[in-house]
Structure 1
Amino acid sequence: MAWELFCNKAFHEIVGTCPIHLYKLSHEIVEKSKGLPLAIKAIAGLLSTKNNIVDEWRKLLTSLSSQLESNEHLTSITKILLLSYNDLPYDLKSCFLYFGIFKQDNSIRSGRLIRQWIAEGFVMSKKDKTLEEVAEEYMAELISRNLVQVSDVYFDGKPRTCRIHDLLQEIILNKMEDLSFCQVLSGNDSNIKGLIRRMSIINACAITTNFKLLKVLDFDDAPNLDHFPEDIGCLFHFKYLSVRGTRVRLLPKSIGKLENLGTLDLKESLVLQLPIEIRRLYKLRHLLACHTDWNESYHIDKQKGVKEEKGIGRLQSLQKLYFIEVNVVGVDTFEELSKLTELRKLGIKKLRSADGRISCDCIQIMNYLESLDVATISEDEMLDLESMLENLVRIRISWSKLEDDLVKALKNLPNLLDIGFSSNAYYGEELKFEEGAFPKLKVLRVRSSSKLRWLIIEEGALCNLEEFHIGPRLQLKELSCGFQHLRNLEEVSFREMPANFLMSHNFQTLQSITGVEIRFSYKIVEHIMMVLEIIRGK
C-alpha cells in the first residue's frame, strides 16, 4: 500500500510506474517514511518536482537521512514535512507560511489567499501572465507537493477552498515565530512581542490606523465591525482591504487616498453606494460588492449590488467587478464599463429590456471576459443578449425571462463550462438541448423557472456534463430520457422537486445508472420522508 501510494504521487506523469534506475532509491525513501501516508505524500510530492535522475534523488535521500538523524525531539513525520518545506522555492515558502495567519482547521477561499499573496508582494510577474495566473500556479505547486489539501473545487477544476493538515499547521506556526513572519493574537490579547511583520487578530472588532506600513487588512466575517475610521486614507500602503460579512455601511472619502489598493472586498457588508473618490484607485484589480437579504426568498431584490458615481471607467486595471447596478441617475454606466477592457469577471444588476443591445456592445469589447452574471431590474423585463460572448466560461442569468432564441445562441459559445438559469431567467415551457449543444459544458443549473414543463436532452448533447442541478420551483412533468446518454455525469441534485416528478419512469432509470451521485434537498421533514419512500419503491 505504501509503495503504491508513493509511486502514484511521485511518478503520476508516467502512470505511477517507478523507473528501474530509481527502484532501489525509491524503496529506501519509502522505508524512511515508516509507512505514514502523510509523510509518503509529502516526500513523493517533493520528488515529483525533481528530474528522474539518480544523483538528484540520492542527494534528497541523504538530506532526508540527515534530517531524521538530527533533532531527536521531532517525530519522523515532522522531519519529513520540514524537509518538504525547506525544499520550497523562496516565493512559495512565504505563500505556504501565510496559511498560518488564518484560523486553524478552517478551509480558506483560494481567491482570498491569492489576492493577499499578491498584496504582500510574494507573487513575481511573468511575461504574458497576470499576477493572478502566476499565483494560481503557486497554489497548484503547493497542492502537487501535497502541502496543501483541496477542500472544494470550481466547475473548471480550480480549487475553491483549501486547507492544510494539522501537523503542517504546527510547523508553520513554529516557523512564523522563528522568522517573525506573523504574530497571531486573540481579540483580547494585545501583547505584541518584539518586531513583527504581520499580525493576525482573531475576533477583532475595530480598525486601527496606528500601523502606517500595513499592506493587508482583512476583516472577513467580523460581524461586530460597523464603520471605517475617517482617516483610513493615511494607510496609503494598503493593497488589500476586506470588510466582507461586516456591518460597515459607508466608505469614508479618504479611501480615495489608498492609491496602492489592489483589492476592495465589500461582499455581504452593508455598503450599497461607492463614493466618487473610488475613481482615484487606479491600481484596483478586484472590486467585489453585494449584499444578500437572507430574509427574502426568490425575490429579484434578494441580492443587491452597489451604485457607483461617474468615473469608475478610470479603474482600467480592474480584473473583477461585481456586482454593479446600472441605470443610476446621472451616470452612463455602460460608457464607464466599456473602458474596463481587462475585466475577467463582471456582475451587473438592474438591467432593463432596452439595455440588451448596448450591454452586448459593451461586453464585446472585453476580450478577456470569462464570467458574466446579469440580472434585470424587475420580473417584467425581457433581456435580449446576442451571441457575442466568445470567451465566457461561466454565465449566470436571473429574472430575465429568456426564450428559445437565446438558448440557441448560447449553445454555440465554444468555451462555456458552467451555465445557470434561475428565478425565471428562462421563460418557456420546454428547454431542449439538441445534438451537439454545449460540447464543453461541465455544470448546468436550472432553478426557479415557473413555466418550465419539459426538459429534453438529445443524444450527443451535453456530452461532457459532470453536474446537473435541478430545482427548486420547477413544474417538470418528468426527467428527460436523455440522461442515459450523459456518459461523464457524476452528480445530479434535486431541490424541492414534486413527488410526481420523482415517481416518473425516467427518474427511476436514473437511479440505476452506476457512477452517478444523486442528491436531494428538502426543507420540510415530511417531504424528506416522501423522497425516501419513493427511492425505496414504496
Structure 2
Amino acid sequence: MDAIAVVSLVIKKLQGLLPADENTTTNDPTVFQKQAQGAIDSLEPLKQFLKNEDDREASSGHSLMDDQVVTQLLRAVYSADDALNTLILKKELQEQTDIKSGTIRKSKRFMKNLISRKGMGKLNKEIRRLVEIKEKAVTSDTSFSTVGNGGGRQSSSWQDRRARISDFCLEEETDVDLVNELLIRLVPYQFPKLIAVIGEGGSGKTTLAKTIYDRVDVRRYFTKRAWIQVPSLFNTRQVLGDILQQINEAELVEESTLSEDELMWRIIKLLNGARCLIVLEDVEATQILETVLNPLCNSSQFDTRMILTTSNANKLPPQTGYLALHLGRLNEEESWKLFLNKVRMKEDEVVNSELISLKEKILMMCGGLPARIVLLGGLLSTKERSNNEWSRVVLERAGNNKGDIMALSYQDLPSEIKPCFLYMGIFPKKVEIPVRRLIHLWVAEGFVMPLLDPEETNHEDMAGRCFEELVIRNMIQVIRWKSDGSPKTCYMPGVLYDFFSSKAEAVGFFNRQFHTSSNKNPELAAVRRLATYSGIKNLQSSLFAHVHQNLRSYVAYDTRIRCSPSIETGMLLKKIISNRGFGLLNSLDLEGVYKPKLSDDLVGKLLHLKYLGLRSTFIDILPATVGSLPCLETLDVKHTNIKEAVHIVKAEKLRHVYLCVNSSNKVLLDLSSFTNLHTLWGQNVGSLSELTLLEKLTRLRKLKLTGDIKLFRSKQSVECFAKLTNLQSLKLRSIPKSIEYDSFIYLDSLAEHHKLQELYLLGTLPGNRLSDYIPPNLRKLTLSMSRPGIDPMPLLGQLPHLNVLRLLSNSVMVERLTCSAGGFPKLRLLKLWHHKYWKPVLLTVEEEAMSSLNELEIRDCHMQPPRGLENVITLKEITLTNMPDTFREDVEKILQGRNVYIKKSTCPSSLKVCPLVLCIS
C-alpha cells in the first residue's frame, strides 16, 4: 500500500526537526533532537524492510505479510504519522502564540518544550509498536531473505522510460466478424432496437462497442450519439443527465436542476426526427430497462438504437425485446495478435528471437481473455526484450488463475507508484477522472516524494511520470484526449477495479460509503481516507463512528441538487476537529458537489489542508479563513460564483490557483508573497503595477490573465513576460470595445521561450517579423486577428512538435495557404474559422505534408475547395460549419472512396463572430 511513502515522509519531517530552536535552552533542544534522531534511526531499517519486501513480492510473487499484517502495519504507520503531525502543528501554534504576544516567557518556553517531549514520546511509542509488527512478520517466515535493490527490475528508472503517453496508446484490434455482426444488427426495422453484448469480465465487450461507436459510417448515419458508463449504484437521473449532456450540442442546460420526467421529456424533444445511438456500458441493474431503455426504444418520434454491455445475462428480463451477442474467449491466433499489439512488437521480431519459446506459456496464462492479454503485454513492454527477463515474469512468477496476472502487474510496479494506482479505487467504478484532478490529489496525499530539494522539484511532473507508467502498463485507461494528444480523463479498467478496490478497502487503505467490509475488521480503528457517493448523511452509522480526527482525505461524489450540503459537510468537519481543536485533513475534494457551504471557523482549523477542490460547485461564498491556511498548496475554485471578497495573504505555500474568470476579482491574491506559484489561472489584472508583480513569479508554468488589451501591448508587459522563462502555457484575455488593426503586438521575447508549448495570440502581427513571435517547441498554436499579410504556413510547418493549429478570425489575409511537402509532421488538428478575405482562400496540401492530420474543421470561411486533401491518408474527420452546400459537395468529390467522416453543422449566429480576446494559451 502506501506504507513506504508514509514512512519516507515521516523521516523527512523528523529531519526537519533536527536543527536547534534558537528560542529554547541548550539542554531541552538536545533531548528533543536525540529523540528525533532515535525515531529516524528506528524508521530507516523499517523503510528498508518495506522496500525489500516490495522487491521480494515483485520478484517472487510471495509476500511475508497477509492482509491482517498489512492492516496492522498501515494502522501503525498512520498512527506514527498522525502523532508527528500533531506534534509539529502544536509546536507551530505555540510559536505563533509567542510571536503574537511579543515576548516569550519562561512558562511558555517550558510548555512548548513539554509539548515537544510528550509528542515525541508518543511518536516513539507508535514507532516501537510499528517495529514490533515488522519483527513478527519477519520471524513468522524463516525463508525471508533480503532482496537486492530492484529485485531484478529493469535498471533504467521508470521516470525516463516514456516521453509521451499517446505514442503508446495503440488502437485495439477487434474481430472483424464480430464488428460486422453487430453492424448488421443496427440496420433499421430488421432487428429489435436493443442489442445486448454479453461476456465475462475482460472479454472485450467495451472494445467491441467502442469500435462500432467510433466508425465513420456509424457516425454518418446516427446524427446523435451518447456513451454512458452506468454507475454501479444505478441512478436514473444521473444516466438521463449524461444522455442529455451528450446529445444537446446547441444549448447549455443545467441538468442538475431538472427532475427525471423533465430530463426524459427534454431528451425526447431533442431526438425528435433524429437517428440516435446510445451505448450503455457495464449494466448491472435491471431498473435501467424500465426507466431508461423502454421509453427511448419504444418512441415513434425518432429512430434509436441501443447497445448494452453486461457480464450477466440474468440482469436482462426475458420479456424484454432485445438481441443478445455473446462474446467468448479469443483463440490462440487472435490472442497472439493482440499480445503482440500490446507488447509493441511485430511477428517477425518474436519469431526470429528466443522469445518465441515463451509463446505457449503466455497464451496459457492469458486463457484467451483480452483483459489478461492487455495487462501482460503492458507489463512485458516495460521489460528488456530478452529471454531471461521475460522468463522471469512468465515462468517464475505467473500462475494460471485469473487473479495472478493482475496481482503480477501490481507486484511489478515500482513501490512509489503502487499507492497512486490503488488510490484510483476510491473513485466510483468507471467514472471519468480528470487527469489534472488526479495528479493534484496524488501530490496532496504525499504519494510523490521529492528526490532532490523539494523547493526545486516539481511534484506534479513526478506524478505525471507515475501516470504515464500506469498507462503504458495498461493499468489506467485514458478515456478522453485533449486536442493536442495529451490525456484529459481516465479511469481504472473495470476488471482491475473489481479486483483491487475491495482489497485496498479491506486493509484500510481507504473507505467508501457503500461498503461495510472495513467495519467488520476489528483491527481498523479509524478511517484514513473516505469517499462518499451520496452524501455524508447516508453513511452507515458504524462507518461514521470511525470517521474521526485522524481523517486525512475526503472526496465527495454527490451531485444531488436537493440536499443539505452545508449540514453534511459541517458534520464531517466537526467530527475530525473535535477534541484536538484542529484537523489533520490534507485533501478536501468537493468537485462537482452542488453549492457546499463551508464555515469560516471549521475551515480555519484545517491547518494541514494542502488541497481544496471546489471546482464546478458554483459556491457563492468562500470562507475567508482559506487565505490563512498555512499548508495550502492547491486552491481550485474554477466554475464557482464567489460574491464576497476573500484575501489570500498567509497561504504562503500555494503552488496552484485556479480561479473563475467571472469572479476572480473576489479572490484577492497578494502576488508579491507567492513566489512559489506554478499555476495562476484566471487572474484579473487592472493596472501595470499589478502586471509587473508577475515578473517575480519566475516558477510559473501556467498563467491565464484577464485585463485591458493596452496592458498586454505595453513595454512593461514585454519585459515582464521575458522573465517568465518557465512558462509552458500562457493565456492573456482581453475584451476591448474595439480593436486597432494598425496597433501591432510586440512580444519579441516569445521566440526565446523554449519551454512554451501552448500559444494563443489575438492581435495584429507584423508579417515581416512573424518568426520572432513563434516559440520553437509549440504543441498548440492559435492565432486570431493576426493579419500577418503573408502565408504563415511555410514558417509554421517547420515546427517539429506542433499538434494543433487554429487560425481564427482574420488570421489569414492572403489568397493562398500552402502546406509544403514534409511540413507539419505531427499536426493532428487544423481549424480555419471566420476568414473573409476579399478573394476566396485556397488551401493547398502538397504530397507528404501533414502526414499525421486526423481532423480538419472549416467554419464560416470564404474559401475554394482545398487541393491535395487526397494526399492526407491519415485524415479521419472533416467538420464544415456554416459553409455552402456546394463546398461540401466539392470536398466529398475530392475524397470520394475515402473512409473520411464529413460532418456538416451550423453555428448559432451569436457565435459566428469570434470574440475579441487576447490569449497566449
TM-score by structure 2 length? 0.50
| Alpha-carbon separation, structure 1, partners of 2:412 and 2:829 | 42
Structure 1 residues 431-470: aligned runs within 5 Å: 431-435=791-795, 438-440=798-800, 441-449=802-810, 452=813, 454=815, 456-457=817-818, 459=820, 462-470=823-831
Shift of 1:467: 2.9
Note if contact 1:449-1:474 (Cα within 8 Å) is conserved in structure 2: yes
Matches within 5 A, 1:25-424: 25-52=358-385, 54=387, 56-62=389-395, 64-66=397-399, 68=400, 76=402, 78-127=403-452, 129-154=457-482, 157-185=485-513, 186-188=533-535, 189-191=538-540, 193=543, 195=546, 198-203=553-558, 205-206=565-566, 207-208=569-570, 209-210=573-574, 211=576, 212-222=583-593, 224-225=594-595, 227-231=597-601, 232-271=603-642, 275-276=646-647, 278-291=648-661, 305-306=664-665, 309=668, 311-327=670-686, 332-356=689-713, 357-381=715-739, 382=743, 384-389=745-750, 390-391=753-754, 392-398=756-762, 400-404=763-767, 407-411=770-774, 413-422=775-784, 424=785
Alignment of 1:516 with 2:878, yes or no, is no
Q: Deviations over 1:400-421 (max 9, x none)?
A: 344535634223x222221112
Which residue is equivalent to 2:857? 494
CA, structure 1 residues 338+54, in 2 after alignment: closer, same or farther (shift >3 Å)? same
Please report how far the alpha carbon of residue 84 of structure 1 lies from its aligned counterpart in structure 2 after TM superposition. 1.4
1:126/1:134 contact within 8 Å kept: no
Partner of 2:841 in structure 1? 478
- C-alpha change, 1:132 and 1:91, in structure 2 (3 Å) is same
Rate the CA distance shift 1:114–1:379 in 2: closer, same or farther, 3 A. same
Contact 2:340 2:347 in 1 (8 A): no
- Deviation, structure 1 residue 319: 0.8
Shift of 1:28: 0.7
In 2 relative to 1, CA 484–492 (structure 1 residues): closer, same or farther, beyond 3 Å?
farther
Q: 2 CA distance for matches of 1:484 and 1:270?
A: 51
Structure 1 residues 15 and 466, CA gap change in structure 2 (3 angstroms) = farther
Aligned equivalents of 1:530, 1:457: Cα separation in 2: 22
1:98 is paired with a residue of what secondary structure?
Answer: helix
Q: Distance in 2 between matches of 1:15 and 1:386?
A: 53
CA contact 2:822–2:850 (8 Å) conserved in 1: no
> Which string of whole-angstrom CA distances, capped at 9 and with x for unpartnered residues, describes residues 179-232 of structure 1?
22222233252215274654543316443323322211122222x215432221
RMSD: 3.3
Cα deviations across residues 357-388 of structure 1 (Å, max 9, x unaligned)?
A: 21121111122111111122415355623221
Q: How many residues align?
A: 504
How far 1:48 moved relative to its partner? 2.9
The answer to whether the 8 A contact 1:432-1:455 is kept is no
Q: Deviations over 1:3-53 (max 9, x none)?
A: 233244336599954673433234312221112222112112222333455
d(CA) in 1 for partners of 2:448 and 2:692? 33
SS at match of 1:234: coil
Q: Do the aligned residues in 1 keep the contact of 2:708 with 2:734 (CA within 8 Å)?
A: yes
**Which stretch has the larger CA shift, 247-256 or 21-30?**
21-30
Gaps of 5+ in 2: 1-333, 514-532, 560-564, 577-582, 895-921
List alignment gaps of at least 5 residues for structure 1: 70-75, 292-302
Give the whole-Å Cα distance in 2 for the aligned partners of 1:506 and 1:536: 11
Cα distance in 2 for partners of 1:451, 1:340 equals 35
Identity over the aligned pairs, expressed in percent? 25
SS at match of 1:322: strand
Q: 1:15 to 1:325 in 2, by over 3 A?
A: farther
User: 1:444–1:272: structure 2 CA closer, same or farther, 3 Å change rule?
Assistant: farther
Q: CA deviation at 1:134?
A: 0.9
Larger Rg belongs to: 2
Deviation above 6 Å: which 4+ runs of structure 1? 527-531
With 413-422 and 348-357 compared, the bigger mean Cα shift is at: 348-357
Give the AA of the match of 2:496.
Answer: L
Aligned partners of 1:95 and 1:122 also within 8 Å: yes
SS in 2 for 1:444: strand
Q: Larger helix proportion, structure 1 or 2?
A: 2
Q: Offset at 1:430?
A: 5.7
Describe the shift of the 1:16–1:180 C-alpha distance in structure 2 as closer, same or farther (beyond 3 A): farther
TM-score, with normalisation over the residues of structure 1? 0.83
Give the letter for the 2:539 counterpart. S
- TM-superposed CA distance for 1:129, in Å, is 4.4
Contact 1:100/1:173, CA 8 A, preserved across alignment: yes
Specify the alignment match of 1:299 in structure 2. Answer: none
Higher relative contact order (CA 8 A, sep 6+): 2
**1:165 shift after superposition:** 1.5
Could you tell me which residue of structure 1 aligns to residue 189 of structure 2? none
Q: What residue is the counterpart of 1:295 in the other structure?
A: none
Q: Secondary structure at the match of 1:237?
A: coil
Mapped to 2, the partners of 1:93 and 1:30 lie a distance apart of 27
1:16/1:364 Cα in 2 relative to 1: closer, same or farther (>3 Å)?
A: farther
Change (3 A) 1:12 1:153: farther
Q: Alignment partner of 1:493: what SS?
A: strand
Q: Distance in 1 between matches of 2:829 and 2:816?
A: 12
SS at match of 1:316: coil
